[in-house]
Structure 1
Amino acid sequence: MSVSVTQAIRGSFFDLTSTVTTPEQLPQCARYIEDGLLLLDGGNIVSLQTWQEGRHQLADERMVTDYRGKLIIPGFVDTHIHYPQTEMIGAFGEQLLEWLQQYTFPVESQYHCPQHAAKMSSFFLQQLLSNGTTTALVFGTVHPQSVEALFSAAETLNMRLIAGKVMMDRNAPDTLTETPEQSYQQTRELIERWHNRGRLSYALTPRFAPTSSPELLARVCQLKKEYPDIWLHTHLSENPQEVAWVKALFPDHEGYLDVYHQYQLTGRRSVFAHCLHLEDKEWDCLHHTDSAVAFCPTSNLFLGSGLFNLKTCWKKRVRLGIGTDVGAGTTFNMLKTLGEAYKVGQLQHYKLAACEAFYHATLGGAQALDLHDRIGNFMPGKEADFVVLDPMVSALQRMRYASSGDIWEKLFVLMTLGDDRNIASTWVNGQCRWSLNHEEQAA
């Protein structure tokens, strides 16, 4: 039977073929093909086979893009990141609430300007692509212009992106607050224009409970009912002082998560970033509502917020993805982020194996975003988003990679020693959208 093939990619491939409920299931779902052939039909995957099995389906072997010596994996999925905070990454000396006042709010106040938003959107997306990230769940600012610019830039790349404008009406500078009615109207207009447009989707984005009045949360709830296939993206239990503040602001609620839950903001497409200081009943609520969490190791460490408990997340069967959380997070690079996640686990006597780490950054992250039917591995029919990794870009990496005994050790070395230099190229919907060779030529 003939198949339509428009592109063919040769190299070594690694992916996870199905979602799991325990980390012990992961090795059985892992697939490594040392000499493989990925066949594409436009922006979709036709098949992944060994070179010997697949080459007979090629009309001409000259159509093959040859990445032998490289490792090809599904594109990284970043489940929590703030694009306006790109320009304040690495801001010194504060924990969450002071950090917001001193650094975040002043930077975000610039995004009323469409030209500034467009410039930073382009820079931000290039940072994602140059670090192998092909899908992201993104915070804008309170300004509609910030989201318009980001979606416009992502649309030209045919990139899968979920984003939304921040919704907040209190406990922030006057220049960054809005009325609940303004927030509802502006958000609704953005949803109508951008949600499900190509590979773009919209996320309702109340910043966090302290900047949300009951009236605003009611409006968020109203929008969620009006658009039942929409996403919800916010913060939850990042910092002990924040948790105490929420309890003071919402004394009639049982806890932080209960604020969102009582406004019907939990659910299958609700993603809560951080979740460091949850009570047991809050974990149970996340599980029963099929909500997801974003683990953001570099920002949690940088702001001194706390350590995420991966073991509890598995035990409670809550869906999880990895977030870089730029700009509190200190890197766009998922390899470096996974290396920090390993250290967070070590501090709690949890051994984060490479197989699990790469699952969270690819198919697990896709599942957290309810996109695992479209992205996250190389199964037939999935969208062709992938990253080509060069595992040996330094003398140290070459030495360590050569002494690695199997694919598990090689992946672990890559996530502990790797960085943006290891990204050889990034493919989005079947097209190469970033390449190190092009960067070198431009330089």
Structure 2
Amino acid sequence: MQAYRASILHLEADPSTTDGEAHAFHEDGLLLVAEGRVVACGDYAKLADELGDTPVEDLTGKLIVPGFVDTHIHFPQVDIIAAHGEQLLDWLERHTFPAEAAFADQGHAEAAAEFFVEELLRNGTTSALVFGSVHKASVEALFAAALKRDMRLIAGKSLMDRNAPPGLTDTVEGSRADMQSLIADWHGKGRLGYAVTPRFAISCSDEQLAMAGEVLAEHPTVWMQTHLSENIREIVDTAKLFPDAKDYLDVYERFGLVGKRSVFAHCVHLQGDAFQRLAQAGASVAFCPTSNLFLGSGLFPLETACAHGVKMGIGTDVGAGTTFSILHTLGEAYKVGQLRGEALDPFYALYLATLGGARALGLEDEIGSLEADKIADFLVLDLAATPLLARRMPAARSLEDRLFALTVLGDDRVVERTYVAGVERHRR
């Protein structure tokens, strides 16, 4: 058994729907881990008798939290993060598609995968829902890198059979064969999962979307991820391509792609009716504030989504997103809310990054908090990692104030250690 003494904070419920406190905080806490799972988590004074001969690693002054869950990120876009110019569709043509074409080369994909997963861990992300390129080998490289580190990673090859450059499109039957092979070889291997991944409606014909729905129905334990209602021009172009659909969401509904294991990125311009339909289907939304700001897509209506009961997670959306850091992303989420007249609660922000993300992926029984028997994905955070944080934290008036300062001022430097299934995978 491993034992860690530090302050410990995690969410036990959704703060937006819970009367009273939804979080558990132990100023002088103890986390006990054995065989990759949490044995116990609570006050040191109450759990000390359970230690026996187990030595305690004293991390007093540090904060232990669950590992972060990134519900939307693009593996093949790591090399174009901070690429200048234009909004979504022009940005894709100018930067994204050329970068993704390089993933036809297996060596390039493998090198990028190693960097990508290490960057996730360095920033405290222990679980992620990831877009691959259209190339089967890109997803295989990513799965192999994650498997070596026992990460909880769900990914899929992008489906594109139109409106993309040569070399980045495939056929309906080619996509089907690739997905069936990837699911057979990787889904459920270690902590890996497969996600059927139509890039977005613009890139997929009716036949491609129908095939995606068929594969999803054939494999009820896989996920589905795509983009929805991110950019005004994208919405207009989608309406032209699917004139019989009543709205953008209906495009996916018609092909059986909206369900309990579906995650839709962005949803910036959705109205209440669409959020209601997502909630009724049990689908989830990934809020991606840094990319929505970077591409000028708009301000996500978080309170509206929550009011309709939609499951929510946070997404960095690298490479339109400008950071791998979930902490930094939460700070930007607060600013988006301010521009909408909605002040994001810091406990709800941490919920989005942990238990909320786990629920969005249907994995709340496995990850997202530090309750007993859950997999021991957790972080050790240094609240004095920068001179500014070291000065700011002693002045905090409450736990809420400390947590808020952490989400606004924190970044990768705060993540001192990252543990995956009880094994240290990163140390600053």
Q: Deviations over 1:190-234 (max 9, x none)?
A: 011111111000000010000000000111011011101110000
Distance in 1 (alpha carbons) for counterparts of 2:160 and 2:85: 25
Q: 1:45 matched to which residue of 2?
A: 38
Q: 1:394 matched to which residue of 2?
A: 386
* 8 Å Cα contact 2:151-2:192 kept in structure 1: yes
Match of residue 321, structure 1, among 313, 323, 341: 313
- SS, match of residue 434 in structure 1: strand
* 8 Å Cα contact 2:272-2:304 kept in structure 1: no
* 8 Å Cα contact 1:26-1:355 kept in structure 2: no
Match of residue 332, structure 2, among 328, 332, 340: 340
- 1:209 maps to a residue whose letter is A
What is the correspondence of 1:15-414 to structure 2 with a 5 Å cutoff? 15-18=10-13, 20=14, 23=16, 25=18, 28-61=21-54, 63-414=55-406
* 8 Å Cα contact 1:16-1:30 kept in structure 2: yes
Distance in 1 (alpha carbons) for counterparts of 2:275 and 2:147: 36
* 8 Å Cα contact 1:27-1:355 kept in structure 2: no
- 2:370 maps to a residue whose letter is F
2:425 counterpart of 1:430: no
- SS, match of residue 52 in structure 2: coil
* 8 Å Cα contact 1:16-1:26 kept in structure 2: no
Q: 1:7 matched to which residue of 2?
A: 2
* 8 Å Cα contact 2:272-2:305 kept in structure 1: no
Q: CA deviation at 1:368?
A: 0.4
* 8 Å Cα contact 1:7-1:42 kept in structure 2: no
Distance in 2 (alpha carbons) for counterparts of 1:47 and 1:266: 37
Q: CA deviation at 1:434?
A: 0.2
Q: CA deviation at 1:41?
A: 1.4
Distance in 1 (alpha carbons) for counterparts of 2:156 and 2:171: 17
Q: Deviations over 1:4-51 (max 9, x none)?
A: xx2111111000113x3x615275121110111111111111110211
- 1:232 maps to a residue whose letter is M
Distance in 2 (alpha carbons) for counterparts of 1:391 and 1:152: 33
Q: CA deviation at 1:369?
A: 0.6
* Percent of aligned pairs with the same amino acid: 50
* 8 Å Cα contact 1:36-1:49 kept in structure 2: yes
Q: CA deviation at 1:281?
A: 2.2
Q: 142-151 or 275-284: which moved more?
A: 275-284
- 1:308 maps to a residue whose letter is F
- Runs of 5+ unmatched residues, structure 2: none
- Runs of 5+ unmatched residues, structure 1: 1-5, 437-443
TM-score by length of 1: 0.95
- SS, match of residue 215 in structure 2: helix
Distance in 2 (alpha carbons) for counterparts of 1:377 and 1:148: 29
* 8 Å Cα contact 2:154-2:195 kept in structure 1: yes
Distance in 2 (alpha carbons) for counterparts of 1:387 and 1:287: 31
Distance in 1 (alpha carbons) for counterparts of 2:19 and 2:337: 18
Q: Which runs of 4+ in 1 moved over 3 A?
A: none
- 1:98 maps to a residue whose letter is D
Distance in 2 (alpha carbons) for counterparts of 1:340 and 1:289: 29
